[in-house]
Structures are given as structure tokens and as C-alpha cells.
Chain A
Amino acid sequence: MHELSIAVSMIDAASREAAAVGAERVRAVYLKMGVLSGVVRDALLFSFDVASVGTPLEGATLNIEDIPVVVFCPACRAEKTLLDYYGFECPDCGAIASDVRQGRDLEVTAIEIEESEATNHEMPSTTNHDS
């Protein structure tokens, strides 16, 4: 059960990103999660809800995109997507393919933020930094 520490780390990062752009709340977090990441989806969703209470992410949705395992097949000399991760065999030619090119990912790709309409992004600052 390391999903809780992963959720906390995600919430910290998203809170910082939101603060950096002056947002008050985060409505959603988009996460890419590899099949081989070792993270259990339900445990992560549960942890996210619990850990976000009292943060700018309270009530936010966690959108998880599953990233399949992609291996390099030495026989076909090409990257192949595995249909299931129990067998590292090329789905086309059956050769053993253990060179994992994708599928261990665990990355927050975007956050959906909520901000007051007063914030103007076209002209981020009126402060004059000229010396």
C-alpha cells in the first residue's frame, strides 16, 4: 500500500503548480499510469480522495490513463504493444521480447484549475520589472 504516499506526492505537486499560476482550486488531475508501474488503481483513487481533504484539491477528480506495455521485439525489429503483461512475447511473431520501452510510467500530465475571472492571463503582470 504505497498508493497513499504516491497520492500525497501528487497532491503536493499539483498544489504547487496551482499556486504558481495563481489558481485557488484544482478540479482535476490527469495521470498517466503504466500497467507495470506497480500502482493499484482503486487504492490510488481511494488515497487521493482521503489525502486531498483540506487541500486545494479537495473534491477534485483523478483521471487515470492506462499506459500499456510496449516492448521492442528483436525479431521484428519494431516496438510492439503487449496484449497482457504476463508474457513478454511479441504478439505478432511470438519471439521473447523483454526490452520494455513503455509501461512503467507514473506521470501527472495536466491539472484542471479554477481561478477567479479577475486573473488575466494574456497580460500576466502589470508590475514593471524594468530597472
Chain B
Amino acid sequence: MITRIVEVRHGVLRKNDELARELRDRFDAADVFVVNLVSGPGAGKTALLERTLAGLRPKFRVAALVGDLATENDATRLARSGAPIRQISTGTTCHLEAEMIANALEGWELADLDLLFIENVGNLVCPASYNLGEHLRAVLFSTTEGEDKPLKYPTIFNTADVALLTKMDLAEVVEFDRNLAVHNIHQVRPGLPVVDTSSKRDDGLEGWLGFLAGQVEVQSAPVA
């Protein structure tokens, strides 16, 4: 027996990245703006999405895919908004992958949509590694989680395009230090836009809905 070293260059996540690129091309061709919502469990992704879908519905055509290990609870909640919703049950997988998105989109006419939301599995670690072809990765961070979350999970904050502080209605009760939280976010991702939200109080949502509307405008604007 002899041994030898064979040089290879194999990106371990290459297959997912290739599928994500294909998805991105499809989204761009159909002029649909895609948002990937990531956070730990219980940060308020579903509640925010309920309010977001309701807030955007009069003006935009919206739909959502929602990932969980099990149950269709979130899809049932979100379907009340009247928007098309599909649940992705990942079984034992702790994140969504591009292939799951491609499968879940079968039969949907993307050109009929302005915005598509993907609610990822509640997990601050693994979803960071999987590109889903999205235009915007929004990381949610609730006031009840503790201000140092970004320092503990830097990768997910570092790969995000916007951070949403959720449950701002509870900020005072839980003595949430907003300045410290924003400082910590900027430690791991300098310059990341931070938007305050409260899914219980409508006032906190205006900034987020305005931010999204601005992004969609940029996306659909003809290239100069």
C-alpha cells in the first residue's frame, strides 16, 4: 500500500451556494424582493411577520415560507393574514437550505409577488451558514434576550443586512439597555442598520415597514 496526497478544492457548502445563486437569479428575474428572517427561538419572528404581512398587504403582493422542525402552527397563524403561506417542516434539520426553498416554491408564480419572506428555523448558529438566495437577511434580537447576544453569536449578526430589536414594548420592564445592545451589534458588524420594533404596538413597526418599502423600491427600480 502506498499513500499520497491529492489536492482538491471543494467548498463544503458549494452545493447550497450554487442552488442559492440559482434561486437569486429566479427572484431577480421575477422582480421579487426576498427577506430571510433569522433569530433564536422565541425572539418574535412569527409575530413580526404577522404584523409585517398585514402592514404591507394593502400596497404589496406578499407571501411567506416558514421553517420549523415540526408542526404547522406558524403557517396557520400567518395564513390569517390572507397572504399565501407554506410551511417547511425540516424534521431534524436545524436550519433551512436552498434546496428546501426551491422545493417549497414549486407551483408558485414568483412574478405575482413583490415580497417573499422566509422565516428560518429559530437558531442563532446554523442558519448563518446557509444562503437562501435572499436579498436581505434580517436578524431579530429581542429585548428579553440580553444585550450580549451579538457577542455570543457573532456570525449570524456579521452576515445580516439589518438587525431588528423586537419586543421594544417590554424594554423598560426588563431594563433593556438599548445603547449597549446597539454597541454590541456594531462590535461584530459595524454600521449594521438597527430598527426598533414592537409587534404588540403598531408605532414600533413603522420604521421596519418603511425600511422594507425603501428596499423594494431600490430593487424594482430600473438599472440606470
| Chain A contact residues, CB within 8 Å of chain B | 1-2, 5-6, 9-10, 13-14, 17-18, 21, 23, 27, 31, 36-40, 85-88, 96-98, 100, 104, 106-117
Contact = CB atoms under 8 A, between A and B. Distances in A.
A113 B6 contact: yes
Interface stretch (B39-47, B165-173, B188-196): B188-196
B94 interface: yes
A110 B187 contact: no
B3 A112 contact: yes
Contact of A86 (B128, B129, B156, B188): B188
A109 B8 contact: yes
A111 B5 contact: yes
B161 to A, nearest CB: 12
Interface residues of B, number: 34
Given A86-B187, A88-B190, A107 B2 contact: no
B8 A39 contact: no
10 contacts: A14-B10, A38-B125, A85-B154, A86-B151, A88-B187, A98-B190, A108-B10, A110-B8, A112-B6, A113-B5
Contacts of A21: 6
Given A10-B12, A106-B11, A27 B187 contact: no
A68 B5 CA distance: 24
A111 B128 contact: no
B129 A110 contact: no
A59 to B, nearest CB: 13
Nearest to B1: A114
A53 B210 CA distance: 53
Given A36-B155, A108-B8, A27 B129 contact: no
Given A36-B155, A113-B3, A5 B187 contact: no
Interface string B136-154: 0000000000000001001
Contact of B12 (A23, A107, A116, A117): A107
B95 interface: yes
